[in-house]
Amino acid sequence: MATLSDPARPRLTAAQRREILKEDEAWVGKAFNVQANPRAIQANTRYLTMLLLDTALPHRASQAASFAEQLLDTIMSEHTGPPIACAKGCSHCCTTYVSATIPEILNLANSVRRTILRRERVMAAAVQCGATPQVQREARRVICPILENHACSEYAHRPVSCRYLLSKSLEVCVKMLQRNEPAEFQFADNVVAMRSFVIIMMKTALHLCGLPGQHYELNQALAVAMATEDAEARWLAGEPVFAAVPVDSNDQDTSPLKGMVHHLAGVIAPTI
């Protein structure tokens, strides 16, 4: 799969690239139908890639995560709707396994580390999660250390995987997440597709920049981010800062998203 450091990659002329960037302005950070607008997907992926390449920005990984998270909110605000059972004070889903890309982890860590109590809770949850294999997480639930009074205390910085988890049925959530009974989660309209495409954009941008794009278990990765001095700069420089954190078992090389990342990387590479 092409990366931007490949000296043999084809490249458009500077004038063509400028023209594409000008056209991108119509789509960057805007709401669009993810299943019917490949041009908008390309525009936002190019924006993320260029943001990650901008070495003048020391927190460019966190900034890329923040952009992707807000993009998902913007898209969801226009392309999903009632019935939605979720409301402030309902936190059944905050006991499930959560994974996120490293930029999302770094973005959340920047905020969590400012509050001592939250930081201590994350460290304790990381130990608990480290001792609980992913397959056992549904049976042995770990309450998210970011949760306070049944609400997300880092709502503005929560990862993509938390944002898209909108339910149509409280009854099903209680059954699955409180009583551990088998049931099929009732996702709100279109949220699964919207989350998938935002993840594809982020993974493509990370791949093009030669950075790892897997999803890591949230609590252990947060603990590493907070315990490592200059974690963001070191990760951006290629240090395997998160090597000891388990990757989400659903995010392997065989993931169906990989083919789409491959295709999108091939489209974006010549335009940068």
Which positions touch ligand SF4 (CB under 6 A)?
Answer: 94, 98, 144, 146-147, 152, 154, 158, 162
Cβ distance to ligand SF4 smaller for residue 33 or 128 = 128
Contacts for 202 with CB less than 8 Å, ≥ 6 apart:
48, 64, 65, 68, 101, 103, 160, 213
Please report how close the Cβ of residue 152 comes to ligand SF4 at its closest, in angstroms. Answer: 3
Residue showing tokens 């998203």: 257
Please report how close the Cβ of residue 147 comes to ligand SF4 at its closest, in angstroms. Answer: 4
**Beta-strand (E) ranges in the chain?**
99-100, 147-148, 151-152, 216-217
CA dist list (Å): 229 to 26, 106, 141, 244: 39, 12, 30, 16
Total residues found in the chain within this entry:
272
Type of residue at 202: M
Cβ distance to ligand SF4 smaller for residue 35 or 77 = 77
Please report how close the Cβ of residue 125 comes to ligand SF4 at its closest, in angstroms. Answer: 10
CA dist list (Å): 151 to 93, 144, 147, 188: 11, 10, 6, 20
Cβ distance to ligand SF4 smaller for residue 98 or 268 = 98
Report whether the peptide linkage leading into residue 83 is cis, meaning its omega lies within 30 degrees of zero.
yes
Cβ distance to ligand SF4 smaller for residue 46 or 158 = 158
Cβ distance to ligand SF4 smaller for residue 12 or 147 = 147
Please report how close the Cβ of residue 27 comes to ligand SF4 at its closest, in angstroms. Answer: 28
At 247 the three-state DSSP class reads: strand
Cβ distance to ligand SF4 smaller for residue 96 or 186 = 96
Please report how close the Cβ of residue 80 comes to ligand SF4 at its closest, in angstroms. Answer: 17
Type of residue at 268: I
For β-strands 216-217 and 99-100, DSSP reports them as antiparallel
Please report how close the Cβ of residue 128 comes to ligand SF4 at its closest, in angstroms. Answer: 14
